[in-house]
Amino acid sequence: MTRTHEVLIVVRRAEEYLVVHRSPENGGYWHQIAGGVEKGESPAAAAVRELREETGLAAEPAPIAGGFEYDGIHVDCFVAEAPAGWEPRLDWEHDGYRWLAASAAADLMHWPEPSDVLRGFVS
């Protein structure tokens, strides 16, 4: 089945932004939390599920206006607030993470679209 809809979730903790490193078997690059919208699932529900699966954070991400397209796939973007002191429990897809200022996180992104989303948080 061809995926046509995904979500990207920016995780913010005060003025820091979470970036995750995909394990080598999953590409080996820095990214945000992201994943596919499953059949019958809303983008908001997919964002909640992906956030919990990939980091362990139980939160209700808020939509970010816009979104983007790549290779015929539409991506809806969300932001989730992490509590002070919270650290992610990464799933098998990731082998590392960092908390960075928005501009530094954007500079680390492998793909331009997630970088542009993060740059929207630079004040």
Q: What is the pLDDT of residues 35-75, one digit of tens each?
A: 999 999 999 999 999 999 999 999 999 999 889 999 999 99
Q: Is the pLDDT of residue 123 over 80?
A: no
Whether pTM > 0.85 for this model: the answer is: yes
Q: What's domain 5-119's architecture?
A: Alpha-Beta Complex (3.90)
Joined tokens for residue 113: 């679209």
- Phi, psi (5° rounding) for residue 3? -80, 135
Amino acid at 48: V
Amino acid at 45: A
17 pairs with which residues across the strands? 12, 100
Joined tokens for residue 47: 């964002």
CA distance 6 to 11: 16
- The domain limits of the chain are 5-119
